[in-house]
Chains A and B, each alone.
Chain A
Amino acid sequence: MKAFKLAFRNLIGAGLRTWLNVGILSFILILMIMQYGIYDGWNKQAVTDMIAWEIGSGQIWQEEYDPYDPFTLEDSHAPVPSSIQNEIEKGNLAPVLITQATIYPDGRMQSVLLKGINIEQQVSDIPTAKLEGDFTEIPALIGRITAKNAKLKEGDFVTVRWRDVDGTFDATEALIVGVFDADVPAVTAGQMWIPIERLREMTQMPVEATILIADQEYSWTGSEEGWVLKDHDFLLKEMREMIKMKKVGGSFIYVILLLLALLAVFDTQVLSIFRRQKEIGTYMAMGMTRSQVIKLFTVEGAMHSFLAVVVGAIPGIPFLLWLSNKGMAMPGDTEGFGMAIGARIYPAYSMGLILSVMLIIIIATTIVSFLPSRKISKMNPVEAIKGKLQ
């Protein structure tokens, strides 16, 4: 406590030198919290969006299904097991049948995944109710990205060509009954959603599905042969790893900034010990042990970071709160990221995030304060009192 009291007096007494270091540290503290808050906010937002639009509480895949290998689509479908049919009727599962198709907007050819989904389903936020109606053509929903790439809009007709279960090509007109916006490329990019019954007819795969999206009411019994459960850990793993990778990559600049600030604190400490030898000698003459003086200088240096937390809180709290409310606009073509990302990212600051960033800065500052302070242990008090260079 004595060391803290004395260090605080010394630090405040040092004036501008202290406030420059504190200013830099607090700036970096705010930047780091903001940066990690953005990634955490993105993560949170992406998980929420993926659950709402794509993965629900989990998915049950036909065992051959591999979303990264379109060639598996030919074989990755099977009749929905009768044991879970009642779960579909209760609305706890939404079957999706997936096949490859080609669309011809304005005579151009584009590949899409044709996905059949229950019109009544409530598991995904995809507005499937729009597919309901007595349409001659195939009613189809497309996402914003597909609409943009194919230059399609609601009310447009587009030719769709697909192959049935025997590999025979067929084609017909589809009517775009809705364009929806979601921040999940897996439902909006290169996808066309149509009623599952129509797709089953088109492909001659009655009662079949490729995947089933589950809601939280559904509990997997593990007895459906030929089908496997994919939980959140599996389905979100890739997205989480990508965000983590971006977080690490994005951290470099802040690590460099932090190192520069620590260098400033280190320099201040070296200079302090060099310039304040007389003071150090006086401390010893008055009865402080060398270790007490080392402790005093270390605490003094480390206290820069404590002051940085206090000073940083003054502009930092309102700024970070404002940012978390307003969000941060992302560049126009965020769909190019290939992962769930909103047009605006709303940073999320957890207590753990704030405390861990503070702890990193406090520990790092304490270490760089301690290193030069060790020189004191070799000082001769007689020479120090005279202020002779050692």
Chain B
Amino acid sequence: MENNEIVKISALVKRFPIGGGHFTALNGIDLSFGTGEFAGLVGPSGSGKTTLLNIIGSLDAPSEGTAEVLGQSVGELSHKKAAKLRKESLGFIFQTYNLLPVYTVFENVEFPLLLLDMSAEEKKRAVLEALEWVGLTDKIKSRPAQLSGGECQRVAIARAMVKKPILVLADEPTANLDAANSHNILQTMEKLNKDLKTTFIFATHDEKVIKYLKRKISLEDGKVVKDEQN
């Protein structure tokens, strides 16, 4: 790996209890991601891509093996430390946008900054900059219900990017969007990846997204079957 390693996964296994036994969602994953990557976990439903993304995002813990994110072992992090890692260094983009419905666009994008110690002036500047990246400066007072799906996802990108995280995790970001909006979103993210050197890791099975990826990791039944650079 030519870049600095920010995610290192070794012999990772994730099992979920089911009935009397358990279901193995990830089985012996070894992977690493460096700074500035634009990579995707690709595979059919149930292949384990979202589970892996959740573990990298410290929202879940491995059953076996290790997942180190920015030098911290996710499995050993307390709730508080995991929250701190997410707050300071990670950004999330969800398939269903997960915007806060009662907040305006500005307030939604501002939210991650409220958890950080920043002055009001700094926050305002950062929010406006993030909205400029996604081209939504004219919608700052709108609420999510007044936006189209594409606009909502752009707000979600701005929210994920506003604190300039080291790593952004996007789970099926285009699943609810039409082709035009999907391309628009992906171009935005590609540009941010280039300009800010932010690492993007996607979980997707959308061909439109796959075309944009610089690295494609194929998963099948919880195992990496292919890891290729585009």
The answer to whether A382 and B60 have CB atoms under 8 Å apart is yes
Does A74 belong to the interface (CB within 8 Å)? no
Q: Which B26-53 residues have C-beta < 8 A from chain A?
A: none
CB-contact partner of A289 in B80, B90, B98, under 8 A: B80
The answer to whether B100 and A279 have CB atoms under 8 Å apart is yes
The answer to whether B103 and A13 have CB atoms under 8 Å apart is yes
In the bound complex, residues from chain B placing their C-beta under 8 Å from that of A9 are 102-103, 107
Does B212 belong to the interface (CB within 8 Å)? no
Stretch from B81-89, B129-137, B198-206 forming part of the interface with A:
B81-89
The answer to whether A381 and B103 have CB atoms under 8 Å apart is no
The answer to whether B102 and A10 have CB atoms under 8 Å apart is yes
In the bound complex, residues from chain A placing their C-beta under 8 Å from that of B149 are none
Interface size on B, residues (CB 8 A): 26
Does A363 belong to the interface (CB within 8 Å)? no
In the bound complex, residues from chain B placing their C-beta under 8 Å from that of A148 are none
Q: Which A268-318 residues have C-beta < 8 A from chain B?
A: 278-279, 281-282, 284-290, 292
The answer to whether A13 and B86 have CB atoms under 8 Å apart is no
How far is it, in angstroms, between the C-alpha of A239 and the C-alpha of B101 when the chains are bound? 57
CB-contact partner of A282 in B79, B100, B107, B114, under 8 A: B100
Q: Which A1-45 residues have C-beta < 8 A from chain B?
A: 2, 5-6, 9-10, 12-14
How far is it, in angstroms, between the C-alpha of A284 and the C-alpha of B86 when the chains are bound? 8
The answer to whether A286 and B102 have CB atoms under 8 Å apart is no
With contacts A285-B86, A287-B83, A382-B59 taken as known, whether A13 is within 8 angstroms of B112 at the C-beta atoms is no
Does B181 belong to the interface (CB within 8 Å)? no
The answer to whether A286 and B101 have CB atoms under 8 Å apart is no
The answer to whether B79 and A285 have CB atoms under 8 Å apart is no
The answer to whether A284 and B102 have CB atoms under 8 Å apart is no
The answer to whether A286 and B103 have CB atoms under 8 Å apart is no
In the bound complex, residues from chain B placing their C-beta under 8 Å from that of A6 are 114
Interface size on A, residues (CB 8 A): 24
The answer to whether B79 and A286 have CB atoms under 8 Å apart is no
With contacts A13-B101, A282-B100 taken as known, whether A2 is within 8 angstroms of B57 at the C-beta atoms is no
Contact indicator per residue, chain B 100-129, by CB within 8 Å of chain A (1) or not (0): 111100010001101100000000000000
In the bound complex, residues from chain A placing their C-beta under 8 Å from that of B92 are 282, 285-286
How far is it, in angstroms, between the C-alpha of A355 and the C-alpha of B110 when the chains are bound? 36
With contacts A286-B112, A287-B112, A289-B79 taken as known, whether A13 is within 8 angstroms of B59 at the C-beta atoms is no
Does A385 belong to the interface (CB within 8 Å)? yes
In the bound complex, residues from chain A placing their C-beta under 8 Å from that of B86 are 284-287
How far is it, in angstroms, between the C-alpha of A313 and the C-alpha of B171 when the chains are bound? 48
The answer to whether A285 and B115 have CB atoms under 8 Å apart is no
The answer to whether B98 and A278 have CB atoms under 8 Å apart is yes
Does B72 belong to the interface (CB within 8 Å)? no
In the bound complex, residues from chain A placing their C-beta under 8 Å from that of B115 are 2, 286-288
In the bound complex, residues from chain A placing their C-beta under 8 Å from that of B94 are 282, 285, 385
In the bound complex, residues from chain A placing their C-beta under 8 Å from that of B102 are 9-10, 12-14
Interface residues of B (CB under 8 A from A): 54, 57, 59-60, 79-80, 83-84, 86-88, 90, 92, 94, 96, 98, 100-103, 107, 111-112, 114-115, 159
User: Can you report 5 A-B residue pairs in the complex whose CB atoms are below 8 A from each other?
Assistant: A9-B107, A278-B98, A279-B101, A285-B92, A385-B94
- Known pairs A9-B103, A282-B98; list 8 more (Cβ under 8 Å): A5-B114, A9-B102, A12-B102, A278-B98, A282-B92, A282-B100, A290-B79, A381-B60
